[in-house]
Structure 1
Amino acid sequence: MSTSSIIGNQCQSQPKNRPGSLLKHSFNALWLSDIHLGSKDCKAEYLLQLLRQTQTESLYLVGDIIDIWAMKRRMYWPESHNQVLQQLFIMAKNGTKIIYVPGNHDEEFKAYAGFHLWDVSIAKEHIHTTLGGQKILMLHGDQFDSQVCVGKALTKLGDRLYDLLLLLNRHLHRVRTHLGYPYWSLASYIKLRVNKAQQAIGLFRAAVVSYAQDKQVDGVICGHIHQPELSQQGKIFYANDGDWVENCTFIAESEWGELQLHKWDEQEKCSFVIASISLKRKPKSLKQQVA
């Protein structure tokens, strides 16, 4: 596997169609997590634009799709959030394979692992096989909180502090929008500059990678920490698909066998590839060649 373009580098957008036509994203597989439907910070409108433009063989929902924690504090469910769910069900009805791995904010759904809900399969973990034959483990990541020295009580406290940051984010976004500036995340800016936050991200990454190595897979895709990343970690690759409350990012496997980290651009109404890994086809074993 070869790695190219690291987060923060200049990226190119998808090619635009003619004026008035709908730009289509076509993938073999797509991973989304930390959408947080039911939270005021969910960027449902942007996600809906992506889903309506996207064709994909498989769609993986990597936890915290519905924010039950937020709705227990205050019920919030605008029409745009309902439309996101409806679009997911439409995609499932039209043949997209959708697998949902619940996280900590929607942990109530973990009890339904192994069942189907409106054409959506629910699982605790899942392994995706790429076009090139690589095995990718998919999990949310909340199971590693104890290894990052964060218990459930501290997680909820941190969640409240994070909510405060996102509240400031919302007010800042209104001002920037009024002035004609694009979306910018204050929360992400602070996380990238606080040493303790960076240490926690590093511990989380190491725990996820170690777990994936024990599973003997080629790579792992997770969510949970709202920190998008696509990088090579020794013999396996680590991908975090980010979130839809501050980063608006996702992971996709292209139809030509490339794993990509995308970021949604609300002004261009399309996604930009900000990191990618070329997935070379795995050589067949002698037994497979004889067969």
Structure 2
Amino acid sequence: MKATNPPKKARPRSSTGKPRYRTIWISDVHLGTPDCKASHLVDFLKQNDCETLYLVGDIIDGWRLRSGWFWPQEHTNVVRKILTKAKRDTQVLYVTGNHDEFLRKFVGYELEIGNIRLVNEHIHETADGRRLLVVHGDFFDVITRYHKWIALAGDAIYGGTMRFNHWFNRGRALLGMRYWSLSAFAKQHVKTAVNIVSTFEESLARECQRRELDGVVCGHIHHADARDIDGVTYYNCGDWVESCTALAEDFDGRIHVIRWVELDHLNQSSAAIAIPKLRKAA
């Protein structure tokens, strides 16, 4: 007799028919900069509901806003959409990052407005009982923590790279070529950058081991990921500057990376790509 596969569990939907998750994590939105893909984020927040929404740092880019004000309507729309979700009973936890470090001085006051809470880190328990450290991650980046002037210079270089990328990819589009990210290429292929990222990820894994936690959810390096590092489950939210990615937890505890929009002039439609949950090694 031929075996049949069990039916897949349907993803819960809200009363409006939208996909509903137990938890959503987003990071590195960088509101206040021209590179922020605010309209894509508003679309994502409109089309997905959750019980808990984590804002995992660098949501507002205080570094850039200090040097010059940039705040179009699309950025206000992101704030409004988050406030609307909080008003409709979504618990919002704002985890501070290095670009919005101006908020850290308010954490000690246990600032909580409605369903919005400000923290520097948080321990999240998944539906299947795993305990995950939720932190932006800049404290585990030796350059950001101990050599801020280098981090500031690097941020300026990153901004210039993004501006170059914009015009470079407009030229590629005219030639019928796909979007290509210079900054992503550098992070993945330049030896020094690769070593810095690897050290960052390993430092977070060691911190989880020290605290006897099952994993970590972070941002900071603008690269979405889900994998095992020495028995610790490492999740990174990615960003809303280049990749338009988020993490989402189903009601069974399974966590996905969602790539909401492929930044490609040939394909601007929304697309979700799930990466299977990685369990802690026995």
TM-score band, normalised by shorter chain: 0.7 to 0.9
Equivalent in the alignment of 1:141? 137
CA contact (8 A) 1:259 1:279 kept: no
Give the whole-Å Cα distance in 2 for the aligned partners of 1:220 and 1:197: 21
Equivalent in the alignment of 2:125? 129
CA contact (8 A) 1:29 1:59 kept: yes
Give the whole-Å Cα distance in 2 for the aligned partners of 1:23 and 1:163: 39
Name the CA shift for 1:198/1:219 in 2 (closer, same or farther; >3 Å).
Answer: same
> Which of 167, 192, 199 matches 2:195?
199
> Which of 81, 89, 99 matches 2:93?
99
Q: Once the two structures are superposed, what CA deviation does each residue of 1:4-24 show, in whole Å capped at 9, x if it has no partner?
A: xxxxxxxxxxx9xxxxxx983
After TM superposition, the structure 1 stretch with the greater mean CA deviation from structure 2, 266-275 or 251-260, is 266-275
Give the whole-Å Cα distance in 1 for the aligned partners of 2:145 and 2:116: 33
Equivalent in the alignment of 1:80? 74
Would you say how many aligned residue pairs link Structure 1 and Structure 2? Answer: 262
Equivalent in the alignment of 1:275? 275
CA contact (8 A) 2:128 2:252 kept: no
Unmatched runs of 5 consecutive residues or more in structure 2: 1-10
Give the letter for the 1:83 counterpart: N
SS of corresponding position for 1:205: helix
Name the CA shift for 1:231/1:148 in 2 (closer, same or farther; >3 Å).
Answer: farther
Name the CA shift for 1:117/1:201 in 2 (closer, same or farther; >3 Å).
Answer: same
Q: TM-score, normalised by structure 1?
A: 0.83
Which protein has greater RCO, CA pairs closer than 8 Å, 6+ apart? 1
Give the whole-Å Cα distance in 2 for the aligned partners of 1:51 and 1:260: 16
Give the whole-Å Cα distance in 2 for the aligned partners of 1:184 and 1:94: 38
Equivalent in the alignment of 1:109? 103
Unmatched runs of 5 consecutive residues or more in structure 1: 1-14, 16-21, 283-291
Give the letter for the 2:43 counterpart: Q
CA contact (8 A) 2:41 2:240 kept: yes
> Which of 51, 63, 72 matches 2:45?
51
> Which of 252, 255, 275 matches 2:251?
255
Name the CA shift for 1:151/1:50 in 2 (closer, same or farther; >3 Å).
Answer: same
